[in-house]
Amino acid sequence: MSKTKLKIENLYKIFGPRGKSFIDPVKNGMSKQELLDNHSHVLGLNNINLDIPEQRIQVIMGLSGSGKSTLIRHINRLIEPTAGAITVDDEDILSMSQLQLREFRRKKTSMVFQKFALLPHKTVAQNVAYGLTIQGEQESIAKEKSHKWIESVGLSGFEERYPAQLSGGMQQRVGLARALATDAPILLMDEAFSALDPLIRTDMQNILLELQKDLHKTIIFITHDLDEALRIGDNIAILRDGKIIQKGDPQQIIMKPADDYISDFIKDINRGKVIEVKSIMQKGSSKGTSLDSSCSLEDALKVLNNEKNNECSVVDNKGKKIGKVTLDAAIGALFREKASRNKEKYK
Amino acid sequence: MDWLAEFPSLGKRDLRDLKKGIDGSFREWSRSNGDAIEAFFDPLYFFLVWLEKLLIATPWPIILIIVAGLAYLGSRSWKLALGSVVSFMLIGYFGMWKDMMATISLISVSTLICIAVGIPIGILMSRYDRVQSAITPILDLMQTIPIFVYLLPVVMLLGIGRVPGLIAVCVYAIPPIIRLTNLGIRLVDKEILEAADAFGSSYRQKLFSVQIPLALPNIFAGVNQTIMMALAMVVIASMIGVKGLGMPVLQAVQNQYLTLGLMNGLAIVALAIIFDRVSQRYGQRLQAHRYGKEHE
C-alpha cells in the first residue's frame, strides 16, 4: 500500500443559508429527508472519511445526487465544506488563504470536467496552455509543453482548431491535455468520460490508463458507471446519499458487497471478466500450469478445464507461487451469491 | 364629506414655496459652481470641437476613403462599404456635408464616452449583486424620465452648447451598454468559470481572458444600441444648441419646411443604418468561434 496522498476526515456539507447550525443534529443522526423536510437544507455529504493513496486511481462511484461531484469539488475547494478536514501531503487545505489556495490549484491539482468546459474562444493549443499561461509561464515554454501534451493525447495537427470544431471525444482529449499540462500531481476527473459514447469512452479510458503507466499521478475519478469504475479503479468508494457505503479495491467490492444496494449494483456485471483468480485463491499449491494472480476467471476457466485434476497454481507478478485455484471455486464464483434471505429491500 | 371629493394635498402656498426653495437653491448652487463644472468639462469641449473641425477640414475624398475602409474592416463586405460611400456622397451632394460631419463627431465622442464609462460600470455590476441592485433602478430612471426634464438642470448648469448636448446624449444612450455588459458577463457559462477557477485564475485573469471575451457579442450589441440611441437624440440635442443634422430638422419643424426636414431626417436614417450594419457585422464576426467549421 502506497503512502496516503490525500486525507479526508469527517467531512460534512450541508447546503443552505444556515448549514453550520445543523451540523450537530446531523452528527446526532438527523436524516437527509428530515433535514430537507423540516429545515429546507440539503445534506450533501455526510461524514466522509477517505484516505486516497499516492499514485493510484481512486474511483468515487455513485448515482446522480449521491454527492460525488460535491465531494470532488471539496478537494480543490470549489465548494467549501461545512465541517471536517482535508489534508494533502499533510497540508491543511481548508486553512489556506485565497492566495495560497490559488497557488495550490495551480501547482497541485488539475481538473477534467464532464462537459469539457473548454474556452470556446481559444484554440486547442491555447486551451491546453491555459493553466501554464495563468501561472505566468513563458510563452515559448507553454507552447512547447502544450504541444507535447496535445501529441500525447493524439491530437497533433488540431492545435489551431477551436473546440466547437471538434467532436466530443476530441474535446475531452483537449480537456485531459489541459489538465496534464500543468504537471500537477493530483488529477481530479469529474465524470470526465460520462458524456462520451461507449466506444469513445473505452478509448479515453485506455488513453488515461496508458498515460498513468508513465505519469503515476494521484487520480480521483468520479463516475456513475460501474464497468468504468472496475476497469480503471485501483480503489473504489461507493457513495450513496452523501455517505460512503463501501470502499475497497474492485475485487473486494464484487466478492463482498457491503449491502443489498451494492449487490444490486453489481448484479449485471460480467463476473468472468472482472473477477481475478486471486480473489478465489486457496492455500496450497498445485503442479502443472501456473496462473497469474490478476488473470480473469474467464481465462482461468479454460486452463483449469484442461488441467488433469482441474487445479492450477497462482503466482504473483514476480512468479512466486502464492496459492492454488480449483475449477469448482472458479465456477462457484461465476454465480452471484443469492440475495439475502430476508427480502427487506434498501430504500 | 368634502374631504372625500378632494385629495388631501399640500397647500398651494406651501407647494409654491417648496418649488421656489428647491429652484432657488439649485440656481444658487449652479451659479457658484457652474464655472468649476464647466472647467471640468473643458477638455471634452475642446476634443469635440477639435474632432469636428478636423472632420470638416479633411478633404472629402479622404473622408470617403476612410468611411469605405472602416465599413469594410468592420463588416468585411464590399456591398456595405460601397453603400456607405454612396450614402455619404448623396448626403454631401444635397448640401449636408458639414452638418453630417458635426453629427458624426458628436456621435463618435458620445459613444466613446459611453463605452469608457459604461463598460467598467457593467463589469462592477456583474461582480457585485449589490452594485447591480443599486444601479438598475438608476438605469430604469435614465431610460424612462422625459428627456426634457433632465435637459433642464443640465442647461441651467452648463448653459447651451455642445457639452450639455453631449451630456444629454450620453445620459440617454449609456444604459444599454451598461446593461448588456453586465448581462453578457453574467451569462458566461458557469462551468467554464469553474474550470478557470480550478486552474487557479485570479479574478483579473478570469475577467480578461474568459469573461470579457465570452461576453463580447453582448457587449457589442450594447455598443450598437448605444450608437443608435445617440443618433436618435440628435434632433433633441439640437434644441440646446448642438450643431449637426438635427438643427435643420428642428428648423423645419418650426417653419414647416417639409423638404428640409425630410432630407436631413433621411440623412440621419442613412447614418443610423450604416453604423448599425457595420457594428452588427463586426459583432457577429467576434463570435466566429461559435460556428465551428465555418471558422476556417
Q: Using one digit for the tens of pLDDT, what is the confidence trace for B165-178? A: 898 899 999 999 99
Question: Among all residues of chain B, which has the CA nearest to that of A78?
Answer: B198
Chain A: closest CA distance from residue B191 (Å): 6
B202 touches chain A (CB under 8 A): yes
- B137-141, B208-212, B236-240, range with the lowest pLDDT: B236-240
Report the alpha-carbon angle B155-B55-B250, nearest 5: 40
Q: Do B199 and A188 touch (CB under 8 A)?
A: no
Q: Give chain B's mean pLDDT.
A: 89
* Chain A hits for B291, Cβ within 8 Å: 164
Mean local confidence (pLDDT), B233-258: 89
A117-151 pLDDT, tens per residue?
Answer: 999 999 999 999 999 999 988 999 999 999 999 99
Predicted confidence at residue B288, as pLDDT, reads 67
pTM: 0.83
Residue A306 in this model has a pLDDT that exceeds 80: yes
* Chain B hits for A98, Cβ within 8 Å: none
The residue among A119, A146, A159 with the most chain B CBs within 10 A of its CB, best to mutate, is A119
Residue A343 in this model has a pLDDT that exceeds 50: no
Q: Do A105 and B197 touch (CB under 8 A)?
A: yes
pLDDT bin (cut points 50, 70, 90) of residue A280 is confident
Domain locations in chain A as residue ranges: 54-86+96-265, 271-334
Q: Give chain A's mean pLDDT.
A: 88
Examine the predicted complex and report whether its ipTM is higher than 0.90. Answer: no
Q: Do A121 and B213 touch (CB under 8 A)?
A: yes
The B residues from 203 to 222 touching A (CB cutoff 8 Å) are 205, 209-210, 213-214
Mean local confidence (pLDDT), B52-60: 91
B185 touches chain A (CB under 8 A): no
Fold of A54-86+96-265: Rossmann fold (3.40.50)
B102-119 pLDDT, tens per residue?
Answer: 999 999 999 999 999 999
Question: Percent of chain A beyond pLDDT 70?
Answer: 96
* Chain B hits for A110, Cβ within 8 Å: 198-199
How far from B207 is each of A73, A142, B77, B212, CA to CA, in Å?
22, 21, 32, 6
Question: Among all residues of chain B, which has the CA nearest to that of A126?
Answer: B209
Number of Cβ pairs closer than 8 Å across A and B? 74
Q: Do B200 and A119 touch (CB under 8 A)?
A: no
* Chain B hits for A178, Cβ within 8 Å: 199
Predicted confidence at residue B291, as pLDDT, reads 54
Residue A339 in this model has a pLDDT that exceeds 50: no
How many angstroms separate the CA atoms of B244 and B236, rounded? 11
Domain locations in chain B as residue ranges: 13-286
Please, how many CA atoms are within 13 Å of residue B165, restricted to the half-sphere of its CB?
A: 29
Residue among A251, A244, A247, A257 at smallest CA distance from A279: A251
The residue among B199, B205, B291, B296 with the most chain A CBs within 10 A of its CB, best to mutate, is B199
Predicted confidence at residue B241, as pLDDT, reads 84
Predicted confidence at residue A69, as pLDDT, reads 92
Predicted confidence at residue A318, as pLDDT, reads 83
Among 3.30.1180.10, 3.40.190.80, 3.30.70.1710, 3.10.580.10, name the CATH number for the domain at A271-334.
Answer: 3.10.580.10
Predicted confidence at residue B163, as pLDDT, reads 87
How far from B287 is each of B33, B177, B216, B225, B281, CA to CA, in Å?
47, 18, 8, 18, 10
Predicted confidence at residue B65, as pLDDT, reads 94
The CATH number of the structural domain formed by B13-286 is 1.10.3720.10
Residue among A239, A245, A322 at smallest CA distance from A277: A322
A216-269 pLDDT, tens per residue?
Answer: 999 999 999 888 999 899 999 999 989 999 999 888 888 888 888 888 888 888
Q: Do B200 and A188 touch (CB under 8 A)?
A: no
Q: Do A117 and B210 touch (CB under 8 A)?
A: no
pLDDT bin (cut points 50, 70, 90) of residue B185 is very high
Chain B: closest CA distance from residue A175 (Å): 10
B268-286 pLDDT, tens per residue?
Answer: 999 999 999 998 888 888 7
* Chain B hits for A76, Cβ within 8 Å: 198
- Sign of the torsion angle spanned by Cα atoms B186, B190, B192, B195: positive
Residue A290 in this model has a pLDDT that exceeds 60: yes
Q: Do B191 and A113 touch (CB under 8 A)?
A: yes
Chain B: closest CA distance from residue A111 (Å): 7
Report the alpha-carbon angle B88-B94-B97, nearest 5: 50
